[in-house]
């Protein structure tokens, strides 16, 4: 297994042979161990708006979904979520939302600046979609360290089947490279099992990751949301999602890879299985209990009824039970080289 050729990668993308997949997962665990040991890093997720101007066919927050009740958190509410998170020990906050025009460059700068001032030791991650390079620069200037923007699919034809014509893979990629140039730790990634996806598309996703060299890679199964055009489509496979996690770990051994909520949604042990396939990050929810159900990217999303402290306790237990060690530090990306045997970290 050297995973260099397209043919070999394609083989592992589709294989269902239990011995082959276990060997793949064992290799992925060893790669992760080399850079991060047994640590699993925590990120506190604050879902601060479910308004979105985009109309992605797969997502429950799309603007054409008139059934969803919309909400926005105020600056004070966001600071309360972060305050609770900090008290619980979180050192990374992820601000995620739809592409909500209300949150102009100035408003985002204000939020990031307020968090940066109050929590100078914490990492601030944004996940608010495609913005101009100027806006990304302003957010970075205000104190944002990381940005999550999945490419969703690296094949332009496939991208066009998942999004309206107003969105393009070209712009998505441009955003990702701009973020990198601005010095963000960048996360990309994709869904597994979206409608029309082929194994060759997944191969392109891996090849794109290799060219972008992101610091984080988010991978989760597509899950239908009933009020979207893809509401009747089949959900993505857990087994294939896990293989994509493992392959991403082996191609980008120093990456931070979350065991995603989507995986936990389609299988009660989905996140544990992801940790055992090479993932090393979890992203429990810090959003107010009242708004969690409204952040309905897909149906049956888990953890919408829990308090932040319950989520933390639950995840800690899950991590320990599969033999890993919960780590509440910032968890920056490991430098891609090991110097004199010591693990160096960025920023
Ligand atoms: N608006 C921002 C962030 C919110 S969406 C953005 O699009 O980047 C965050 C992620 O949720 C998306 O990148 C997508 O991969 C995932 N997502 C959306 N709908 C989904 C669905 N039906 N099933 C699984 N994941 C979904
Ligand atoms: Fe909006 Fe993101 Fe959902 Fe697309 S995936 S509709 S950009 S929230």
In angstroms, the Cα distances linking 325 to 39, 41, 133, 136, 277 are 5, 9, 37, 34, 15
Per-residue 3-state assignment (H helix, E strand, C coil) for 147-212: EECCCECCCHHHHHHHCCCCCCHHHHHHHHHHHHHCCCEEEEEEEECCCCCCHHHHHHHHHHHHHH
Beta-strand pair 281-282/39-42: parallel
Angstrom distance (rounded) from CA 181 to CA 213:
12
Looking at all shown ligands, the one closest to residue 58's CA atom is 1
Distance 334 CA to ligand 2 centre (A): 29
Measured from the Cβ of residue 160, the count of other Cβ atoms closer than 10 Å reads 15
Predicted confidence (pLDDT) per residue in 234-285, tens digit: 999 999 999 999 999 999 999 999 999 999 999 999 999 999 999 999 999 9
Nearest CA to ligand 2 atom 4: 56
Radius of gyration of the chain (CA): 19
Q: Does domain 6-327 bear CATH number 3.40.50.300?
A: no
Predicted confidence (pLDDT) per residue in 30-55, tens digit: 999 999 999 999 999 999 999 999 99
Predicted confidence (pLDDT) per residue in 56-101, tens digit: 999 999 999 999 999 999 999 999 999 999 999 999 999 999 999 9
Tokens describing residue 134: 């100027």
What confidence score (pLDDT) does residue 335 get?
65
Residue among 94, 225, 297 whose CB has most ligand 1 atoms within 8 A, to mutate: 297
Angstrom distance (rounded) from CA 347 to CA 338:
16
Question: Does residue 92 contact residue 54 with C-beta atoms inside 8 Å?
Answer: no
Residue among 46, 51, 61, 150 whose CB has most ligand 1 atoms within 8 A, to mutate: 150
The pLDDT-based confidence of 1 (bands split at 50, 70, 90) is: confident
**Domain-wise residue ranges, the chain:** 6-327
**pLDDT greater than 80 at residue 346:** no
Predicted confidence (pLDDT) per residue in 162-184, tens digit: 999 999 999 999 999 999 999 99
Pocket around ligand 2: residues whose beta carbon is below 6 Å from it? Answer: 52, 54, 56, 59, 61-62, 98-99, 129
Running DSSP on this structure, what letter comes out for residue 124?
Answer: E
Q: What is the enclosing helix (H) or strand (E) of 55?
A: none
């Amino acid at each position: 297994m050297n995973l260099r050729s397209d043919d070999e990668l394609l083989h592992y993308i589709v294989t269902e042979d239990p011995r082959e997949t276990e060997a793949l997962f064992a290799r992925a665990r060893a790669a992760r161990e080399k850079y991060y040991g047994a640590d699993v890093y925590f990120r506190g997720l604050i879902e601060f708006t479910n308004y979105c101007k985009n109309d992605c066919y797969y997502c429950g927050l799309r603007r054409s979904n008139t059934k969803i009740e919309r909400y926005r958190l105020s600056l004070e509410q966001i600071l309360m979520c972060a305050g609770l998170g900090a008290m619980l020990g979180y050192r990374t906050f992820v601000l995620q939302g739809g592409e909500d025009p209300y949150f102009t460059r100035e408003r985002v700068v204000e939020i990031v600046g307020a968090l940066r001032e109050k929590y100078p030791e914490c990492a601030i991650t944004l996940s608010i979609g495609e913005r101009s390079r100027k806006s990304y620069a302003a957010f970075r200037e205000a104190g944002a360290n990381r940005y999550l923007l999945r490419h969703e699919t690296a094949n332009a034809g496939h991208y066009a089947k998942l999004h309206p014509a107003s969105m393009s893979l070209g712009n998505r990629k441009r955003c990702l490279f701009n973020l990198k140039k601005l010095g963000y730790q960048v996360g990309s990634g994709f869904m597994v099992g979206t409608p029309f996806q082929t194994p060759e598309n997944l191969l392109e996703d891996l090849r794109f990751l290799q060219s972008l060299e992101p610091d984080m890679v988010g991978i989760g199964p597509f899950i239908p949301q009933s009020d979207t055009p893809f509401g009747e489509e089949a959900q993505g496979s857990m087994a294939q999602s896990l293989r994509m996690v493992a392959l991403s770990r082996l191609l980008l051994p120093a990456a931070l890879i979350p065991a995603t909520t989507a995986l936990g949604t389609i299988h009660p042990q989905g996140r544990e299985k992801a940790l055992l396939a090479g993932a090393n990050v979890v992203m429990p929810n810090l959003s107010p209990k009242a708004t969690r159900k409204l952040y309905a990217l897909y149906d049956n999303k888990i953890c919408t009824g829990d308090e932040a402290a319950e989520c933390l306790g639950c995840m800690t237990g899950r991590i320990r039970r599969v033999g890993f060690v919960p780590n509440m530090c910032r968890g920056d990306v490991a430098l891609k080289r090991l110097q004199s045997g010591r693990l160096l970290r960025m920023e």
